[in-house]
Amino acid sequence: MALAGCEGGQSPLTDGSLPEDGRDAGDCGVQSNLTGELVDWDSSDASFAGVGGAQLTLNGDSSVSLVTPPNGRIDLCARPDLPLEFAIDNPGDFLDGPLSIERSSIGFPLSLRALTSTRAASFLAEHAVTFDPALAQIIVLQAGDRFELSLDLPHDTALAANDDDDDGALTWGAGATGRYVLFPNVQLTASTATVSGPPMIPRTFNIAAGKLSSVVLAFFLIGP
């Protein structure tokens, strides 16, 4: 399943009772309809693992909220007068954190990844990085073209992954250019961080100790 957004479409149930196989509950009207998935860090088509029981709440309007079903499905209407900035309250050992979605990404395939503190430690160790649960972790999804990203705060070695094999599996390596870019162990010298990558407009979002900040960007270069 891919996470996509479009203007208009179906409205969500806001009581956390989204069915797994879709629903027919009206129309989003002028609001943005976000649909898709929240999946485990290691989820793939061959071994799919949705994250159920995660609560997403729009900052500034707590009535825009849902709890994901077992397959991790996301489907909600977001007001056009508020930024697409959410709080994610994940179940169990999964790291909570803010979610920032660039409106230009609406309409393109997106898939959000959730990470437990246990998997964060083992995953980073695989890449010679020691997980620090007292610091912030940042995962950026580039829904459009992929650029080399940079962060304005100190962090450990950035890791990047692509999904070009079309099997849902991610292959990670050192670097900051990819469909997904992880900035691990970000120093908390401020309550916000800014990611940039020419020619994109810099994106500023919230960070916090012990949290995983998820950021969705979308920028496309138009050829001659």
> Which amino acid is it at 145?
D
Percentage of the chain beyond pLDDT 90 is: 67
The rounded distance, in Å, linking the Cα atoms of 154 and 89 is: 26
Extract the tokens encoding 39. 């999946």
pLDDT tens digits along 177-217: 999 999 999 999 999 999 999 888 899 999 999 999 999 99
In sequence order, the β-bridge partners of residue 161 are 172, 180
How far apart CA 136 and CA 131 sit, in angstroms, is: 10
Task: For residue 66, give the amino acid letter.
Answer: L
Q: What pLDDT is stored for residue 221 in this prediction?
A: 79
Segment (H or E) for 122: helix 117-126
Beta-strand ranges (E) seen in 143-209 are 150-151, 159-162, 171-174, 180-186, 192-196, 203-206
CB 106 within 8 A of CB 32: yes
According to the 3-state scheme, what is the secondary structure of 50-103? ECCCCEEEECCEEEEEEECCCCCEEEEEECCCCCCEEEEECCCCECCEEEEECH
Sheet holding 85-89, edge to edge: 61-67, 55-58, 85-89, 97-101, 212-217, 136-142, 180-186, 159-162, 171-174
Q: Which run of H or E residues covers position 125?
A: helix 117-126
Q: What's the pLDDT tens digit per position in 135-190?
A: 999 999 998 899 999 999 999 999 999 988 777 789 999 999 999 999 999 999 99
